Amino acid sequence: MLWLWQLRTTQPTGLILYSGHRDVVDDDDDDSGRTDFIAIELLDGRLRYVFDVGSGVRVIRDRLQRPLDDNRWHEVNVRRTLPRVIFTARRECIARTTVARCLFV
Protein backbone atom coordinates (compact mmCIF):
# COMPACT_ATOMS: atom_id res chain seq x y z
CA MET A 1 0.00 0.00 0.00
CA LEU A 2 1.29 3.45 -0.90
CA TRP A 3 -0.25 6.86 -0.31
CA LEU A 4 1.47 9.75 -2.01
CA TRP A 5 0.27 13.33 -2.02
CA GLN A 6 1.43 16.94 -2.00
CA LEU A 7 0.67 19.28 0.85
CA ARG A 8 0.81 23.07 1.06
CA THR A 9 -0.67 24.89 4.02
CA THR A 10 -0.29 27.72 6.49
CA GLN A 11 -2.67 26.05 8.96
CA PRO A 12 -0.83 24.33 11.81
CA THR A 13 -3.59 21.81 12.61
CA GLY A 14 -5.98 19.75 10.49
CA LEU A 15 -7.16 16.29 9.46
CA ILE A 16 -5.71 15.18 6.11
CA LEU A 17 -7.12 11.66 5.81
CA TYR A 18 -9.32 9.37 7.88
CA SER A 19 -10.63 5.92 7.07
CA GLY A 20 -12.19 3.54 9.56
CA HIS A 21 -14.26 0.41 9.89
CA ARG A 22 -16.10 -1.04 12.88
CA ASP A 23 -16.62 -4.79 13.16
CA VAL A 24 -20.11 -5.36 14.54
CA VAL A 25 -20.31 -8.25 17.01
CA ASP A 26 -24.11 -8.39 17.19
CA ASP A 27 -27.17 -6.43 16.10
CA ASP A 28 -27.56 -4.52 19.39
CA ASP A 29 -26.74 -0.82 19.58
CA ASP A 30 -23.94 -1.32 22.08
CA ASP A 31 -20.33 -0.31 21.54
CA SER A 32 -18.98 -3.83 21.13
CA GLY A 33 -16.75 -4.64 18.19
CA ARG A 34 -13.30 -3.58 17.12
CA THR A 35 -12.49 -0.49 15.14
CA ASP A 36 -9.63 -0.48 12.63
CA PHE A 37 -8.71 2.99 11.43
CA ILE A 38 -6.00 5.17 9.98
CA ALA A 39 -5.67 8.92 10.24
CA ILE A 40 -3.10 11.32 8.89
CA GLU A 41 -3.18 14.69 10.58
CA LEU A 42 -1.24 17.88 11.05
CA LEU A 43 -0.77 19.00 14.65
CA ASP A 44 1.25 22.14 15.40
CA GLY A 45 2.69 21.92 11.87
CA ARG A 46 3.87 18.34 12.40
CA LEU A 47 2.56 15.27 10.59
CA ARG A 48 1.14 12.36 12.56
CA TYR A 49 0.13 8.93 11.27
CA VAL A 50 -2.35 7.42 13.74
CA PHE A 51 -3.73 3.91 13.36
CA ASP A 52 -5.24 0.93 15.15
CA VAL A 53 -5.20 -2.54 13.61
CA GLY A 54 -6.63 -4.30 16.65
CA SER A 55 -3.71 -4.11 19.05
CA GLY A 56 -4.24 -0.57 20.30
CA VAL A 57 -3.75 2.91 18.91
CA ARG A 58 -0.27 3.69 17.56
CA VAL A 59 0.98 7.19 16.74
CA ILE A 60 3.91 7.95 14.47
CA ARG A 61 5.12 11.55 14.71
CA ASP A 62 7.40 13.28 12.25
CA ARG A 63 11.02 14.02 13.16
CA LEU A 64 11.53 16.83 10.67
CA GLN A 65 13.60 19.83 11.68
CA ARG A 66 10.98 22.35 10.50
CA PRO A 67 7.16 22.18 10.60
CA LEU A 68 5.23 21.74 7.33
CA ASP A 69 2.86 24.71 7.74
CA ASP A 70 5.25 27.03 5.87
CA ASN A 71 3.13 27.70 2.73
CA ARG A 72 5.52 25.59 0.59
CA TRP A 73 4.75 22.40 -1.34
CA HIS A 74 5.82 19.16 0.32
CA GLU A 75 5.56 15.64 -1.04
CA VAL A 76 4.42 13.20 1.63
CA ASN A 77 4.19 9.44 1.36
CA VAL A 78 3.19 6.55 3.55
CA ARG A 79 4.39 3.14 2.39
CA ARG A 80 3.12 0.06 4.13
CA THR A 81 4.50 -3.36 3.33
CA LEU A 82 3.80 -5.64 6.24
CA PRO A 83 5.21 -5.59 8.76
CA ARG A 84 6.83 -2.17 8.11
CA VAL A 85 5.42 1.33 7.77
CA ILE A 86 7.66 4.07 6.34
CA PHE A 87 6.50 7.69 6.51
CA THR A 88 8.41 10.32 4.49
CA ALA A 89 8.17 14.04 3.74
CA ARG A 90 10.63 16.44 2.11
CA ARG A 91 12.39 13.28 0.89
CA GLU A 92 13.39 12.60 4.50
CA CYS A 93 12.31 9.55 6.44
CA ILE A 94 9.94 10.81 9.13
CA ALA A 95 9.54 7.53 10.95
CA ARG A 96 9.57 3.75 10.61
CA THR A 97 7.69 1.19 12.63
CA THR A 98 6.49 -2.38 12.42
CA VAL A 99 2.89 -3.60 12.44
CA ALA A 100 1.87 -7.15 13.21
CA ARG A 101 -1.63 -7.22 11.69
CA CYS A 102 -3.46 -6.28 8.52
CA LEU A 103 -5.53 -3.12 8.40
CA PHE A 104 -9.14 -3.48 7.27
CA VAL A 105 -10.70 -0.12 6.37
Q: pLDDT tens digit string along 49-72?
A: 888 877 788 888 888 888 889 998
Q: pLDDT tens digit string along 7-43?
A: 899 999 999 999 887 665 555 555 556 678 889 999 9
In our burial notation (b when 16+ CB lie closer than 10 A, e otherwise), range 42-77 reads bbebbbbbbbbbeeeeeebebebeeebbeeeebebe
pTM comes to: 0.70
Q: What residue segments make up the domains of the chain, in order of their start? A: 2-98
CATH domain 2-98 topology: Jelly Rolls (2.60.120)
Cα–Cα distance measured from residue 17 to residue 39, given in angstroms and rounded to the nearest whole number: 5
